[in-house]
Amino acid sequence: MGLIPETTIQEIRDRADILGLVGRYVDLKQAGHNSWKGLCPFHDEKTPSFNVNPGRQAYYCFGCQAKGDVLSFLVDHENLTFPEAVRTLAADLGIVIPESDSGDRSDTEKIFAALEVAQQCYREALQSPEGQIAREYLEHRGLDAEVIDRFQIGYAPDAWDTVVRALERAKVPADVGMLSGLLNERASGGHYDRLRGRVIFPIQDVRGRVIAFGGRALGADQEPKYLNTPETPVYHKRRTFYGFPHALEPIRRAGRAIVCEGYFDAIALARAGVGEAVATCGTALTSDHARDLSRRTSSLGLLFDGDSAGKKAMERALEILLPAGLRVRAVSLPDGQDPDDFLNARGPKDLVALVDRAPDALEVVIRRAVAAGCSTPAEKSDAVRRVAPLVASIPDPVERSEYARRLALFVSADVAAVESVVRSVRGGKSIPANPRVAASSSESKPVSGDNYAPISDSEARHLRQLAMILSRHPELANAALVEEMHEALPNCALKDLVFAFVDAGAEGHVDAEGRVDILAMKERVSSELAAMAYEVVMDESFFANETPGWEVLTQILRRFVLRKLDAEQKIIRRRLDDPDEDQGKAVEDLQALLVRRRAHGATGLDTGL
């Protein structure tokens, strides 16, 4: 893309009114002198955990860890590309963006324009005389004019140059048609339409803009049955759901989403009044899909074919969905039927009932494992081991143990034995934390890095304070202090955070007031650390304490040093009691240690933290 100068982006970040912008979407209430709170626009919640700090020009959600600045808010909430977000805000603020080169500035815009031309063209073709074959097909599938209109369904005539000519008429260059995935290049030169002789389903982003097309073959021997336009700068399969813009409001209302495999499935459900249905676009569910859904609902129905491929697909989907904290139900149709058939045969009421009464998906998997044979001890063990990874991936401990209990019950195995299998599976592999659960436990247990020894609450509090002070005064971290912190701070994620601030400061990632630029942190550290960084700087209780940074910093560090020396002293005393140790050396070490203690001003009353 055409490069937007970094200084312009910075100017936009500095000048944009984050309260005004976020306030358009979120009802914000003042919560502190520099802190505003509201219900998070990125996840469902009843009590506000979404914080905006206008001083920092940043937002952070303690519930789902959504975080960033005005630009990332537009990117994540409005589904804009970064350059689009920059241009949108620049226009609001009257900032002129110097165009270094025109080339790519509008690549995305050109693609959207080309897709729009194609969309018009497909829509018109469906209504034209040559579109009769497609109209008949849609009628046969039970789609009436109203539904066709609602889903903007079109037709790609069985010709090589329908879109080629439409783009020409609209003065869209063929290379943009290629970039948009609409055209292919001929070996002999020139271009031809990618989608031909197909019913066309426009695939839209959350804002309702067409980003791609899916085409269903009309000829009996036409392969493949479904053909999509390829991935482009605006279309990423792994993040896209067919029907998402239409489904957003119904998802909110129904408190759930239904995921199915095909365009016709999603449309059939919508026809039956289940508007919260979406479909993947020719790909399996991905973790991006799961995250996107979990921001909007915690309850999900999966509608897959009842055949063995569909059953496998469902289990694979659960592997993706359960770790995201989603509660999943399995909607299963009578064998061989798709939602269309079912709807046309049985009517909307029965289809809705089927969705509403869908059983818990994990329980379905457990039953299947049991049905596969579960009488001998070996078979029981196999069944447990087959399902345990799914159970172990559930982030909520209460739900997880409940499923472990049910698994034991169904298999008629010992509950403690099944729980221990689940625990060992869970311990053995890293399972992404559930944002909801992580949030609720983050205040009391901020440092649960897997490889770290646990630290006490007061240690955690002091480490957070260190991190906060260094985020505001990174210049305090001189070489001696850095070395002392390396030595004295217990290894834990909060120590990593302290040093992330120190490093960011040392590398000059600071804002106008000399504080570490929280946005720079986001790009430099793991998302877990970035989330902690936001929590630290957004927490107003720290700001309330106006003790000079250096004084508090050294006090806290001194406690950690003394605590570490205490621990070392204990080890030396043990050596003094051990006849196998070199006593002379132990005494020497003890004296050296006492000197160090005195150097840190230990009075004998200090007992560490």
What's the closest the beta carbon of residue 372 comes to Zn ion, in angstroms? 40
Q: Which is nearer to Zn ion, 59 or 122 (CB)?
A: 59
> Is 126 within 8 Å of 153 (Cβ atoms)?
yes
What's the closest the beta carbon of residue 440 comes to Zn ion, in angstroms? 12
What's the closest the beta carbon of residue 59 comes to Zn ion, in angstroms? 10
Give the residues lining the site for Zn ion (CB under 5 A): 40, 42-43, 61, 63-64, 66
Tell me which residue of 111, 106, 236, 79 sits closest to 181, measured CA to CA: 111
> Is 319 within 8 Å of 389 (Cβ atoms)?
yes
Q: Which is nearer to Zn ion, 40 or 75 (CB)?
A: 40
What's the closest the beta carbon of residue 42 comes to Zn ion, in angstroms? 5
Q: Which is nearer to Zn ion, 231 or 540 (CB)?
A: 540
Task: Compute the distance between CA of residue 267 and CA of residue 264 in angstroms, rounded to an integer.
Answer: 5
Tell me which residue of 354, 343, 208, 326 sits closest to 268, measured CA to CA: 343
Which amino acid is residue 302, in one-letter code? L
Q: 251: which 2 tokens?
A: 């998802």
> Is 267 within 8 Å of 202 (Cβ atoms)?
no
What's the closest the beta carbon of residue 251 comes to Zn ion, in angstroms? 16
H/E element holding 113? helix 107-127
Q: Which is nearer to Zn ion, 204 or 294 (CB)?
A: 294
Instruction: Please list, in sequence order, all residues whose beta carbon lies within 8 angstroms of the beta carbon of residue 602, skipping any fewer than 6 positions away.
Output: 562, 565
- Radius of gyration from C-alpha coordinates of the chain: 30
Which amino acid is residue 261, in one-letter code? E
Instruction: Return the exposure string of 55-69: e unless at least 16 CB atoms fall within 10 Å of the residue's CB, then b.
Output: ebbbbbbbbbbbbbb
What's the closest the beta carbon of residue 487 comes to Zn ion, in angstroms? 38
H/E element holding 588? helix 583-599
Q: Which is nearer to Zn ion, 59 or 263 (CB)?
A: 59
Q: Which is nearer to Zn ion, 77 or 289 (CB)?
A: 77
Q: Which is nearer to Zn ion, 43 or 194 (CB)?
A: 43
What's the closest the beta carbon of residue 51 comes to Zn ion, in angstroms? 10
Q: Which is nearer to Zn ion, 11 or 76 (CB)?
A: 76
Task: Compute the distance between CA of residue 18 and CA of residue 1 in angstroms, rounded to an integer.
Answer: 26
Instruction: Please list, in sequence order, all residues whose beta carbon lies within 8 angstroms of the beta carbon of residue 320, skipping any fewer than 6 positions away.
Output: 284, 285, 286, 287, 289, 290
Q: Cα 248 to the chain's mean position, in Å?
A: 17
End-to-end CA distance of the chain: 53
Tell me which residue of 528, 323, 519, 501 sits closest to 439, measured CA to CA: 528
What's the closest the beta carbon of residue 404 comes to Zn ion, in angstroms? 29
Furthest-apart CA atoms within the chain: distance in Å: 103
Tell me which residue of 59, 54, 60, 66 sits closest to 14, measured CA to CA: 54
Q: Which is nearer to Zn ion, 28 or 66 (CB)?
A: 66
3-state secondary structure of 473: coil
What's the closest the beta carbon of residue 39 comes to Zn ion, in angstroms? 9
Q: CA angle at residue 124 from 120 to 129, to 5 degrees?
A: 165
Task: Compute the distance between CA of residue 514 and CA of residue 549 in angstroms, rounded to an integer.
Answer: 13
What's the closest the beta carbon of residue 317 comes to Zn ion, in angstroms? 24
Q: Which is nearer to Zn ion, 66 or 277 (CB)?
A: 66
Q: Which is nearer to Zn ion, 66 or 321 (CB)?
A: 66
Q: Provide long-range contacts, Cβ within 8 A and 24+ apart, for 522-525.
A: 522/67, 522/68, 524/500, 525/496, 525/497, 525/500
Instruction: Please list, in sequence order, all residues whose beta carbon lies within 8 angstroms of the beta carbon of residue 34, skipping any fewer than 6 positions away.
Output: 53, 54, 55, 56, 540, 543
Q: Which is nearer to Zn ion, 287 or 381 (CB)?
A: 287
Q: Which is nearer to Zn ion, 66 or 200 (CB)?
A: 66
H/E element holding 425? helix 415-428
What's the closest the beta carbon of residue 64 comes to Zn ion, in angstroms? 3
What's the closest the beta carbon of residue 523 comes to Zn ion, in angstroms? 21
Q: Which is nearer to Zn ion, 61 or 117 (CB)?
A: 61
Task: Compute the distance between CA of residue 64 and CA of residue 436 in angstroms, rounded to an integer.
Answer: 6
What's the closest the beta carbon of residue 67 comes to Zn ion, in angstroms? 9
What's the closest the beta carbon of residue 81 comes to Zn ion, in angstroms? 22
